[in-house]
Amino acid sequence: MNSRVKKIDPRQLPIIGWREWVALPELGVSTIKAKIDTGARSSSLHAFDMVTFERDGQPFVRFKVHPLQRSSKETIEVEHPVLEFRKVRSSTGHAQRRPVIVTTVEAVGLTWPIELTLANRDAMGFRMLLGREAVRGRMIIDAAGSFYGGKPAAVVKRKKLTKKIKKKRPDKKPE
């Protein structure tokens, strides 16, 4: 065993559920529901209308994000430097060349840098996957638990507003 490898005491690590609300502040994404997926090596973010270009000799990507599951109402436009392009095999076995960006993620009270591949995840259940490389050595995953970090204020406010709107709508029109 390499003596330079620091052994981490798992009792000191925070617990994260199999799904969590996370933020990507550098991308302007204040809340997005992520699936913690140890079966996936890389993390992936739902992105569409992707265009790659160069700025001052460095590769960039411009893309849009729908941060809410099963909704296209909210759209966030992002421009970000590209770290590299990587061949990634999807859960269906299809290999795809994807842009990889480095950004900061916030979850369960922690903030750290991660690599994110960008792909259209519209047909998937979660708009973001947090892969094992992003969580390795940082937290313990409770496969039976969810949302250890709680609900962000924006999500609570959105749900209350939705309930108010539903209450105001009459169930049936008068005849």
Checking if the pLDDT of 91 tops 80, the result is: no
DSSP code of 28?
Answer: T
What is the domain extent for residue 121?
A: 12-168
Q: Write the CATH number for 82.
A: 2.40.70.10
Number of independent structural domains in the chain: 1
pLDDT tens digit sequence for 118-139:
998 877 889 999 999 999 999 9
Closest CA to 123 of 161, 94, 85, 144: 94
CA–CA dist 59, 51 (Å, integer)? 11
CA–CA dist 2, 11 (Å, integer)? 22
Closest CA to 123 of 154, 90, 83: 90
Residue 4's pLDDT band (boundaries 50, 70, 90)? low
Assigned domain for 159 exists? yes
Beta bridge partners of 32: 22
Residue 9's pLDDT band (boundaries 50, 70, 90)? confident
Assigned domain for 7 exists? no
The pTM of this model reads 0.81
Decide which of 80 and 89 is more confident.
80
Q: Residue 162, exposed/middle/buried by CB under 10 A (0-12, 13-18, 19+)?
A: exposed
Assigned domain for 116 exists? yes
Assigned domain for 174 exists? no
Assigned domain for 98 exists? yes
Assigned domain for 3 exists? no
Residue 5's pLDDT band (boundaries 50, 70, 90)? low
Percent of the chain scoring above 90 in pLDDT: 62
SS3 12: helix
Assigned domain for 1 exists? no
pLDDT score for 158: 57
Checking if the pLDDT of 175 tops 50, the result is: no
